[in-house]
Chains A and B, each alone.
Chain A
Amino acid sequence: MNPTVLLAVVLVCGIELSFARVITANLLVIIVGVVVLVYKHAGWRTYLRLLLVPLLPALGVWFSMAYFAVDHQLHYAWVLATRIYAYSFLGAIFTFSTTVSRTLASLEQNAHLPTTFVYGMLAALNFVPKIRSEVTTIKASAQMRGITLHFWSPQLMFKGILAALKWSESLAEAMTSHGFAENQPRTHYLVIQIPKWNYFAAILTLAIFQIFIFSAWP
């Protein structure tokens, strides 16, 4: 499915879930998620991660609801706990169906997101390893001067931003030098289209989802 269409569907479902109090809708999302993962041949680690990572927040919210809700609404406790799982699977459905660069390319070509944002983000994302080593350097450099920086130390963020300022300048210059002009038309080597069936599938999915959301089911 086209990443932009999929993202739209996933976001609409996510927002609706936030307001709904329907356990079955949450379970539906989880089941669809599992089906997608099986179809995409996800490894056992993925299932384990999807099971464990939301466990703590889900338990947390369940217990507080059970203890401190005005009339100890157990149903609502289950809604919130399963919702956290539903969100995780919603995310998994998306990440297992596409890649970051394909999503951004689709947002550029199909959703007409300004190219400045698309390529600015893409370029910066390549700097993750550099940023990690910069943070290591900042901390080590502080140690050498006899100070220990903690996550609340302004110097840590300050020195990091100084590096980010320099890099943003260099990258923007380099991209301009490589012919990138802000929000000007470009050609596309990989053309991403939205096939007609995508629209039908999206509408159908959302329609079925509405039945669950607005049903009288628990």
Chain B
Amino acid sequence: MSYIDVTDLTFSYVQGGQQILQDQQLRFDQGTFNVLTGPSGSGKSTFLRLLCGLFPQFTGHLLAGKILLDGQDVGQMSVTQRARKIALLFQVPSEQFAMPTPREELVFTLENLRTDPAEIPTRLERVLAFTGTTQFADRKFTTLSGGEQQRAALSVILALDADIILLDEPFANVDPQTRAFLLKRLAALVSEQGKTVIISDHDLTDYQFVADYLYVLDPAKKQIHLADPAERAQRFKAFDQQKHQAVAVDLPQKDGPVEFALHDFATGYQQNLLSQKQFQLFQGHLTVFTGPNGVGKSTLFNAIAKLQGYRGSLTWHEQEIAKLKAKHYNRKVALVFQNPVSQFMQVTVKEELELSLKNRLANGWTKDQVQAALVDLDLAGRQEQVVYQLSEGQKRKLQILLMLLLGVPTLLLDEPLTGLDLVSANKIMGYLQRAVKTEGKTVIMISHQLTNLAQYADYHIKLDHKELSYEATL
């Protein structure tokens, strides 16, 4: 028997509905660093929640099987016993704290474990120091960056002193420096304290030398398997290559029509994420916008889309955006949200399409064009389906279609390719390129996935160290 034993595990969210995991067998040894990968939305989070007993306590049905932690059945353990044994760090940094500040969250956690109050201060200082959280321990979470929040979250996990540490896509909103720091700390916890770490991530960059084992979730089989050396090497290599396959792209001619211009511009909720003396974004082009996580790409989009304030000047067609009325401006410059659900207003696919068709602008799509696109994107015949119940990929495709057919002149897309397979991603890029080339639209898109993008993109801008710059490669 090993440290974590998963036998015959079958799980489904809805009784009689689709199964997420089927007949899963798996084992993890104590004191190992494990990485779990697989496409977004394939069930990695579900598996981690099953391991620590949050499922089926909160959601879903365990149709068969059991999970033993160090010989104990998770289903039989109390909440407090579980918390001491196995801890989970969540994907969305800001949705995992009950208290306003890191220090209060730690006190809350230690009180839950019925820690002797006299011991609390020393334990608290120790974990704060280990994760480098001491200097912002009394600041409100709402003022902390994603990286700082995940440091605090790791402190909480150390305060629990659990043997097993699970991390669910923990770096999605974390800057690269913090990511490297946290990975080093986790590796130290494994090698020095014998902790068992299981981390789920679809991005395998930097794991090659820390991971003892790589596990892969195959959504077709609904099963997780241990990657053999060949698969492991191939998967890690894929991420190395993606990073370096840069292709040359144009630098903009400085005399083209300007869509957006920044002058002495700064934005960010607390600290300035971005401060820019001068920058221009050009009309009628497809611009790809890259940069590390958590540096403020979405924040800039939010400022452009009037979802948040800024300092200095930000203009659209030489008009100050802060002074424009959202009602008219947002029909000309629209944001395709990172979370597709934010775009939906109705309940069924049909209602959503009808809403966009009804409110399309003069150069919006015709019904026939929409129908053809539905077939092309594999969304046909789903008219009566509830949008919230579509798969992640379908939601994404529908979302982009809804915004394209409106005929909005300028579209800002925040990670539009997340959750799409390569075929769908290429189709979406085709639509975006056509919108630019034949309809004269302006498209600016944030993307982490860069495969094949150079063939569609006109320009590439990058945000790093609080500054924007045009890049000659993509």
Interface set of A (CB-CB < 8 Å, partner B)? 101, 119, 122-123, 126, 129-130, 133, 136-148, 155, 159, 162, 167, 169-181, 184-189, 191
Per-residue A-contact encoding for B83-120, CB less than 8 Å = 1, 0 else: 11001101010111111100001011111111111001
B406 CB-CB contact with A under 8 Å: yes
Instruction: Known contacts A172-B58, A179-B113, A181-B80; decide if A147 and B95 are in contact (CB<8 Å).
Output: no
Contact A178 B80 (CB under 8 A): no
Residues in B lying within 8 Å of A, measured CB to CB? 49, 52, 54, 57-59, 78-80, 83-84, 87-88, 90, 92, 94-100, 105, 107-117, 120, 141-142, 156, 160, 305-308, 326-327, 330-331, 334-335, 337, 341-343, 345, 355-356, 358-360, 388, 402-403, 406, 408
When C-beta atoms are compared, the residue in chain B nearest to A173 turns out to be B54
Nearest-Cβ distance from residue B440 to partner chain A, whole angstroms: 19
Contact status A141-B343, CB under 8 Å: yes
Interface pair A178/B108, CB less than 8 Å apart? yes
Residues of B within 8 A of A187 (CB): 110-111, 114-117
For residue B436, give the distance in angstroms from its CB to the closest CB of chain A: 19
Complex interface: chain A residues within 8 A of B330 (CB) = 140, 143-144
* B112 close to A143 (CB less than 8 A): no
Q: Which of A126, A145, A167, A172 contacts B345 (CB 8 A)?
A: A145
Q: Complex Cα distance A175/B358, Å?
A: 44
CB-CB nearest 10 A-B residue pairs:
A146-B359, A179-B83, A179-B112, A174-B96, A123-B98, A181-B79, A144-B334, A170-B95, A143-B330, A178-B109
Whether the Cβ atoms of B356 and A145 lie closer than 8 Å is yes
Q: Which of A140, A147, A170, A178 contacts B112 (CB 8 A)?
A: A178
Task: Name which residue of chain B comes closest to A119, CB basis.
Answer: B98
CB distance from B386 to the nearest CB of A (A): 12
Please measure, in the bound complex, the distance between the C-alpha atom of A50 and the C-alpha atom of B179, giving whole angstroms. 49
Q: Are A179 and B80 in contact (CB under 8 A)?
A: yes
- A186, B111: Cβ atoms closer than 8 Å: yes
Q: Tell me if A141 and B342 are in contact (CB < 8 A).
A: yes
A170→B67 CA distance, assembly (Å): 22
Q: How far is the CB of A138 from chain B (nearest CB, A)?
A: 8
Pairs across A and B, CB under 8 Å, 11 listed: A119-B98, A122-B99, A133-B308, A144-B403, A144-B408, A155-B345, A173-B54, A174-B90, A178-B108, A180-B98, A187-B115
Main secondary structure of the interface of A (DSSP, over half): helix
How far, in whole Å, are A137 and B142 apart by their CA atoms in the complex?
A: 17
Contact call A147/B355, Cβ cutoff below 8 A: yes
Please give me the residue from chain A that is nearest to B160 by CB atom.
Answer: A179
Shortest beta-carbon distance from B319 to chain A in Å: 17
Report A182 CB to chain B, min CB distance, Å: 8
Task: Find B98's partner among A133, A146, A174, A188 (CB 8 Å cutoff).
Answer: A174
List B contacts of A170 (CB < 8 A).
90, 92, 95-96
Q: For B306, list chain A residues within 8 Å (CB).
A: 140
Residues of A near B359 (CB, < 8 A) are 145-147
Q: Which residues of B contact A145 (CB under 8 A)?
A: 343, 345, 355-356, 359, 402, 406
Contact of B99 among A126, A141, A181 (CB under 8 A): A126
Residues of A within 8 A of B58 (CB): 169, 172-173, 176
CB distance from A3 to the nearest CB of B (A): 17
Residues of A within 8 A of B402 (CB): 145
| A191 cross-chain contacts in B, Cβ below 8 A | 117
Q: How far is the CB of A159 from chain B (nearest CB, A)?
A: 8
Distance of A188 from chain B, by nearest CB (Å):
6
Given the interface contacts A144-B334, A180-B112, A187-B117, does A126 sit within 8 Å of B342 by beta carbon?
no
Once bound together, how far apart are the Cα atoms of A129 and B308, in whole Å? 13
The 8 Å CB contact of A178, one of B117, B156, B337, B341, is B156
B78, B90, B112, B117 — most chain A CB neighbours (10 Å):
B112
- A118→B141 CA distance, assembly (Å): 19
B268 to A: closest C-beta gap in Å? 14
Q: With A and B bound together, what is the CA distance between A176 and B84 in angstroms?
A: 11
* Interchain CB contact (< 8 A) of B142 among A119, A123, A126: A126
A189 and B120 contacting across the interface, CB-CB below 8 Å: yes
Given contacts A122-B98, A144-B335, A180-B112, 6 further A-B contacts (CB under 8 A): A140-B330, A177-B96, A179-B84, A185-B114, A189-B110, A189-B111
Flag if B331 contacts A178 (CB, 8 Å): no
Q: Find out whether the CB atom of A177 lies under 8 angstroms from the CB atom of B87.
A: yes
- With A142-B345, A144-B335 known as contacts, the answer to whether A176 contacts B57 (CB < 8 A) is yes
